Structure 1
């Protein structure tokens, strides 16, 4: 019996109401596909009542996903209704979607969401990205040129993370020497105690630090020269 066959048999033995596709281990060992396969076939709108992340629904078929994504009146993203991630509703510790009190426009519904999105859309418009192209190319080239030759290195850290962080730092015109703060904060957003942070207090503290850092950048640039970055 192959490992894949064994995985399928094990998945088929799990009661549908105990299927927890929020378990990160399923993604790490690449068995999540078997769980989704069964849910799509037998219970495409599945409710998991108990998980480390709290209760949640899994929607696993295309048309159903489109319906959820396009009907904000029925399926709200607003942080007041639980936000956009697991652990939001009924979890005052996490306060997800508001970053500990600082609203994020991704956790808003129209029309408020549309107004917020309209503000930032010009920054990622083709003309503006073209203006940023030279510095992005220069920084990407520097990252690749810095890679060691003839020895092992961590591709994820030195290339994948660094390229992503570099691009974000450029879009925000974020202080270059502190760009890895962006990496840390993006990790913290989806962390839980014991998995990236030690406690919910640490989670809140670091995200408040993130919010205050960006507020300081905003205050510094108010009334200043109009540039091509998101904050200006």
Structure 2
């Protein structure tokens, strides 16, 4: 796949080191669409690890960019000094369209709402789900065309994660692709191509209309579940949970978006990322096929290498010293997990994809502290199972062109990934 990517990377590195340090804005989504983010973070880690950045987007403004492993850990594990309210993304929510969700709440409300849904991804429930996931993976993989190019994102990554979400919500099966659409709409930038226009006002109006459609749909399901005995699906848990049963409509929508995006974007983009990473690193692909026991290790390495959510945001509750800088009360902070996962001082050869590296679970992709990803074990389980099933079927998966990446500095993922499977085992 000779696509000139080496020249693109070299040009990005030259640009990253040529511009004034103060002008670097790592939240520029173009850096992620073009996969040229690396050298900008490399420079920030070395020269200005706690960096004041100014976005051109009016609703983002100035924010602190935290790029090294240790500084990210310091922020992520101190929820008293660094609040998750009102949002975990850089743009502030519009005053007339706030979506409370437990990931963007502080204790104690965060704790009781998270506890309400956590049984869905408990070890006991994951053991019950495992045969269903394996059956779904087998059905999806057995339906793929052999010897014909197709889009792996659509046929595999989206389909598996959407089926899993539909199961967790007990959502109508025939409408499950709505979950994917709502996830994309919730996180898309105005000029992402998701909306009919890149005009921010038009795009925002379309976003709100579709998210209201989402909550209206889920309200019907809520009303069905609240009038039925408690069950094991997420909607029933929310409808019957002591800490969540009195949520208003917007808080319900906020938590739905959290669960949909968390269950959709992270897993689907890591599934796609694993195919791309192994294609780009044939020695690691060979290593995996010769020793399938490395699948769990490969999964963890892919989650680090991909970092499917590039950052999480916080807001300082008081003046704090970090990395020699004074962060003022009220300042916004972006913890760049994508950069911490490439920190040369903590991870050996961090830009290399090494499926059997030591301490392979040492990564920031799931966060730390009270907001550590509630579904991280489910994500790992889906990835493990699909690769167990892939290795039973396909001697190789060939990527046939460049992936089209998501235009976002938050969701680090893929819109398309063209592949061919030449033959089956």
**TM-score, normalising length: structure 2:** 0.49
1:72 paired residue among 74, 79, 88: 79
Q: Deviations over 1:92-123 (max 9, x none)?
A: 27x7xxxx344211111111101100001111
* More RCO (CA 8 Å, sep 6+): 2
RMSD: 1.9
Alignment check: 8 A CA contact 1:172 1:230 kept: yes
Q: 1:1-232 to 2 correspondence within 5 Å? A: 3=7, 4-52=9-57, 54-55=60-61, 56-79=63-86, 83-88=87-92, 92=94, 100-195=97-192, 196-197=194-195, 198=197, 199-232=203-236
Contact 2:27-2:55 within 8 A present in 1 as well: no
Which digits, 9 at most, give the CA deviation of each residue in 1:174-210, with x for residues without a partner? 1111011110111111112232223211111111222
Unaligned runs of 5+ in 1: none
Q: What SS does the aligned partner of 1:57 have?
A: strand
8 Å CA contact 1:122–1:128 kept in 2: the answer is yes
* Corresponding residue pairs, total: 221
Name the structure where strand makes up a greater proportion of residues: 2
CA displacement at 1:32 relative to structure 2: 0.8
CA shift in 2, pair 1:223/1:162, >3 Å: same
Residues in 2 aligned to 1:208 and 1:108: alpha-carbon distance in whole angstroms: 22
Q: Secondary structure at the match of 2:65?
A: strand
What is the TM-score normalised by the length of structure 1?
Answer: 0.87
Moved more, 136-145 or 14-23: 136-145
1:5 is displaced (CA, Å) by: 4.0
1:12-47 Cα deviation digits (max 9, x unpaired): 111222112112221233221101100001111112
The separation in 2 between residues aligned to 1:43 and 1:33, in whole angstroms, is 15
DSSP-derived class of the 2:64 partner: strand
User: Is the partner of 2:52 in helix, strand or coil?
Assistant: strand
2: CA distance, partners of 1:13 / 1:70: 34
Q: Which runs of 5+ in 2 are unaligned?
A: 1-5, 198-202, 237-425
Moved more, 179-188 or 8-17: 8-17
Contact 2:166 / 2:173 at 8 angstroms: preserved in 1? yes
Q: Report the CA distance shift for 1:102/1:22 in structure 2 as closer, same or farther (over 3 A).
A: closer
Deviates more, 1:195-204 or 1:176-185: 195-204
Q: Distance in 1 between matches of 2:210 and 2:23?
A: 33
Asked if the contact 2:51–2:66 (Cα under 8 Å) also holds between the matched residues in 1, the reply is yes
